[in-house]
Structure formats: structure tokens, C-alpha cells
């Protein structure tokens, strides 16, 4: 009965997230940027709470968010979050002077941090860059094609890795990063997306290009997943928060997407045309 209730909650949450996603990408610029700002704020808020949680605990409370729910971030950290949000906002509208001011504020914040907070700096830059690049992709004429592919491809990779890993099992990749990820799941997350991409794009593109690009993108997606898993293990937490019933937090849902968005955006800046960019 409990498992059925969990499945119902996860299903409802998934439908709501899907609706939120479609509204965001098919809406006008105003709605898009407002939704983006909300997700960016929540992602950095979760991130800073996890780091504060690690600093305060004396034991590993992994697999429970009870203690995390009592963890609050500093007022100074809220200033950092809002500064990053405004920087991404002004990047969307290209307000150069305000960008310089906000970058200076962010730099002064990082400069004040002690040496032990380098993880905090790297983590915030990583998360925020994915949103910054997303605003860049929004300006592309094929934005909808790109973001739809990234999201669907990441889902295919995750589901393939999960199903193959559970079916065949085998050696774990690293218990220090994620205790459930296996080499068989990793291979499943490589090969099934190739079949998926060939089926949907074989009439428009060269097969060898599809295979090569699919492998690279799958490795990037799985690396993003492992990066967040390692970070959560570093903070002794299973889920980044309990904001999304049945799914965890915002960072839990964006793990593989963030790295994919950064990678695709950088390659697009160098005019590399992936098979799904038409």
C-alpha cells in the first residue's frame, strides 16, 4: 500500500514537472525568464544548504533529510543567490553595466571566503553556469529542438542505465560516489541512447555522426549524474531536498541536464552542429 502511494505521488509530481517544462520552453520570454529565475534560486538555495549541513554535522546522516530540513543558510548567502539571479537575468537582456556591478559583488563574496570553501565556489559556478548557458540557448532560433532533445536524451540515458543496471547487476562503478551505479548500467546508458537516436534521426543525418555524438553526450549526461552523486555523498545526504514529492530536490532532477546544457552550449559557440540541431 505504501509503495502504491509513493508511485502515485511520484507520478503526479512527474506530470506537474512535465507541464512546468513545456510551459517554460514554449512560453514567451517573460514567462521563461521568471521560471528560470525560480529554478535557479531553488537550485542554489539547495546547494548552499547542503554545504552548511556538512559543516554542522558530526556524524553521517545519509539517507535522511530530517536534519537537512533544520539547516538554514546565512543571510550573506542569500545576497549571493540574489546577485547570481540578477546576473543571469541581465545576461538575458544584455545589460553590460549592471552585469559588471553584479560580477564585482559576486567576486567580493568569493574573495571573502576562506580556503575551505573552494567546494562552495566551484559548486555555485557549476550550477549557475548551466542556467547562464540556458539563457544563451534561448536566443538560438532552434532553442526548442535543442532543449527538447537534451531533456529527452537525458531521460533515455537515466532510464536505460537504471533498467540495465538492475537487470544485469555486476561490479559497482564506485561505492564512494554512488552505491547503486554499475558498469552494466553505464554501458546500457551508452548503447540504448544510440539506438534511440538512430531510429529518430537516421533519415536526416550521417549514422556515424549520430553514433559518435550520442556516445559523447551519454558520457556527459552520466558524468553530470555522478558529479551530483559525489557531491551529495560529500554532504552526507541522499536527496538535495524534499521540495519535489517522491523525487527529492531540484538538483536531483537537474543533475545530468546541467552538464549537458553546458557542454552543448559550448560546442554550439564553436559552431559544432550536433545531429539534433536542425
19: in domain: yes
Lowest-pLDDT range, 59-73, 102-116, 175-189? 59-73
Residues 88, 238: Cα–Cα separation, whole Å: 29
Total structural domains within the chain: 1
Query: DSSP secondary-structure letter at 229?
Result: H
Q: Is 181 a member of any domain?
A: yes
- Residues 86, 98: contact at Cβ < 8 Å? yes
Q: Is residue 275 part of a domain?
A: no
- Kindly report, residue by residue over 26-74, the tens digit of the pLDDT: 999 999 999 999 999 999 999 998 888 887 775 555 445 666 766 788 8
- Angstrom distance (rounded) from CA 230 to CA 227: 5
Q: Is residue 106 part of a domain?
A: yes
What cell does 57 get? 554535522
* Distance of alpha carbon 60 from alpha carbon 278, whole angstroms: 48
User: What's the alpha-carbon Rg for the chain, to the nearest Å?
Assistant: 19
The residue range of the domain holding 236 is 2-269
Average pLDDT, the chain: 83
pLDDT band at 2 (very low <50, low <70, confident <90, very high): very low
SS3 call for 74: coil
Q: Does residue 37 lie within any of the structural domains?
A: yes
In a domain, 274, yes or no: no
Question: Which residues face 19 on adjacent strands?
Answer: none
- Rounded Cα distance between 277 and 240, Å, is 32
DSSP bridge partners of 248: 244
Q: Please report, in angstroms and rounded to a whole number, the separation of the first and last CA atoms in the chain.
A: 47
pTM for the full predicted model: 0.87
For residue 278, tell me if it sits in a domain: no
Residue 100 lies inside a defined structural domain of this protein: yes
Amino acid at each position: 500500500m505504501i509503495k502504491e502511494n509513493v508511485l502515485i505521488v511520484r507520478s503526479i509530481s512527474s506530470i506537474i514537472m512535465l507541464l512546468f517544462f513545456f510551459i517554460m520552453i514554449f512560453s514567451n520570454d517573460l514567462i521563461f525568464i521568471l521560471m528560470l529565475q525560480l529554478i535557479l534560486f531553488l537550485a542554489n538555495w539547495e546547494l548552499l544548504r547542503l554545504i552548511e549541513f556538512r559543516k554542522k554535522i558530526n556524524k553521517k546522516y545519509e539517507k535522511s533529510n530530517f536534519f537537512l530540513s533544520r539547516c538554514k543558510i546565512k543571510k550573506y548567502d542569500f545576497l549571493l543567490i540574489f546577485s547570481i539571479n540578477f546576473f543571469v537575468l541581465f545576461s538575458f537582456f544584455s545589460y553590460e553595466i549592471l552585469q559588471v556591478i553584479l560580477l564585482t559583488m559576486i567576486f567580493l563574496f568569493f574573495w571573502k571566503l576562506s580556503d575551505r570553501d573552494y567546494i562552495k565556489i566551484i559548486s555555485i559556478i557549476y550550477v549557475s553556469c548551466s542556467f547562464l548557458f540556458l539563457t544563451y540557448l534561448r536566443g538560438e532560433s532552434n532553442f526548442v529542438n535543442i532543449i527538447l532533445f537534451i531533456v529527452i536524451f537525458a531521460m533515455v540515458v537515466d532510464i536505460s542505465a537504471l533498467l540495465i543496471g538492475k537487470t544485469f547487476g555486476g561490479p559497482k562503478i564506485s561505492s564512494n560516489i554512488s552505491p547503486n551505479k554499475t558498469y552494466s548500467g553505464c554501458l546500457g546508458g551508452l548503447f540504448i541512447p544510440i539506438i534511440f537516436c538512430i531510429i529518430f534521426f537516421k533519415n536526416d543525418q550521417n549514422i556515424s555522426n549520430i553514433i559518435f555524438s550520442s556516445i559523447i553526450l551519454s558520457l556527459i549526461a552520466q558524468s553530470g549524474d555522478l558529479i551530483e552523486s559525489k557531491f551529495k555523498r560529500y554532504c552526507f545526504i541522499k536527496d538535495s531536498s524534499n521540495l519535489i514529492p517522491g523525487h527529492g530536490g531540484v538538483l536531483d532532477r537537474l543533475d545530468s541536464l546541467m552538464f549537458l546544457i553546458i557542454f552543448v552550449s559550448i560546442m554550439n559557440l564553436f559552431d559544432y552542429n550536433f545531429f539534433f540541431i536542425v
